[in-house]
Amino acid sequence: MTAPALALEGVSVDRAEVPVIHDVSLDAAPGAVTVILGANGAGKTTLMDGIAGLAKVKSGAIRLDGTPIEKMAPYRRARAGLGYVEQARTTFRTLTVEQNLLVSQSGGGELSTVYKLFPELDKRRNLQAGYLSGGEQQMVVLGRALVSEPKVVLIDEMSLGLAPMVVRRLMTTIGELAGMGIAVVLIEQFANLALEVGTQAHVLRKGGVVFSGPCAELRGDDERLHRLYFGGPPLTTADRDAGPAESERP
């Protein structure tokens, strides 16, 4: 059995000294997409920030390729092979696409790999990032994580504010990243799209894991997802018509 690229054991994370994540254990395998789901306020982003070193890990162990990283500074975690694509889709707006990518380049990370995944960026490599569409900016942020030669990439709500067609295009790329042997950990508001590309799913509720299993067990089952998210009755027709909730940051 392949060893996990990322392993969490009994991890608890605080946000501004307030406990948010409680005793979370999960693995992310190389070449697979691990999906983290949950309602607004479930603690998904806090969990990601804890893994990346942006929120305080109060207890538990986080191992990257077998190495404990829970006490490392964020930049050391990045150097060890942890990439983080945050919600904000932050680019250096006055730098060109290529300059944005070069900022994160390390080791043998190749820009050609990014341009192969995103031919749209190849055509705009000399354009300032501030002139890109939202989808193209998200491609830059994903590409910036890729050229750092990550073993694991955390991706938090990349679909925010993007058209469904663009989201589907980016989801295809998530599968391609996994195909390169990278362990992808994905938070996504469009649950069924994430479950289509994902391998293993974990659902958070009130900071704890309430489901861990194959994505196929949840795919297309909106009523079960609703019960896992909220612990309440199945979805009504009105609930289904309301659409996905917006992202949270506890």
Tokens representing residue 104 in the block: 């994160």
| Cα-based distances in Å from 50 to 5, 58, 89 | 16, 9, 19
pLDDT in tens, the chain (250 residues): 578 999 999 999 999 889 999 999 999 999 999 999 999 999 999 999 999 999 999 999 999 999 999 999 999 999 999 999 988 778 889 999 999 998 876 655 678 889 999 999 999 999 999 999 999 999 999 998 888 889 999 999 988 888 888 999 999 999 999 999 999 999 998 899 999 999 999 999 999 999 999 999 999 999 999 999 998 644 444 444 444 333 333 3
């942890």: which residue's tokens?
82
Contact 61, 72 (CB under 8 A): no
Nearest to 35 by CA among 250, 218, 188: 188
Q: What span, in angstroms and rounded, lies between the C-alpha atoms of 174 and 182?
A: 10
- What amino acid is encoded at 245 in this protein? A
Q: Which amino acid does the sequence have at 65?
A: D
Residue 118: how many CA atoms within 13 Å on its side-chain side? 29
> Counting Cβ atoms within 10 Å, is residue 242 exposed (0-12), middle (13-18) or buried (19+)?
exposed
pLDDT in the model for residue 2? 73
- Structural domains of the chain sorted by starting position, each given as residue range(s) with its CATH number in brackets: 1-81+150-161+174-245 (3.40.50.300), 86-149 (no CATH)
Pairing of strands 208-214, 200-205: antiparallel
Cβ atoms 28, 201 nearer than 8 A:
no
Burial of 168: CB neighbours in 10 Å, binned 0-12, 13-18, 19+: middle
Q: In whole angstroms, what is the distance from residue 37 CA to residue 191 CA?
A: 7
pTM of the model: 0.86
**Are 100 and 51 contacting, i.e. CB atoms less than 8 angstroms apart?**
no
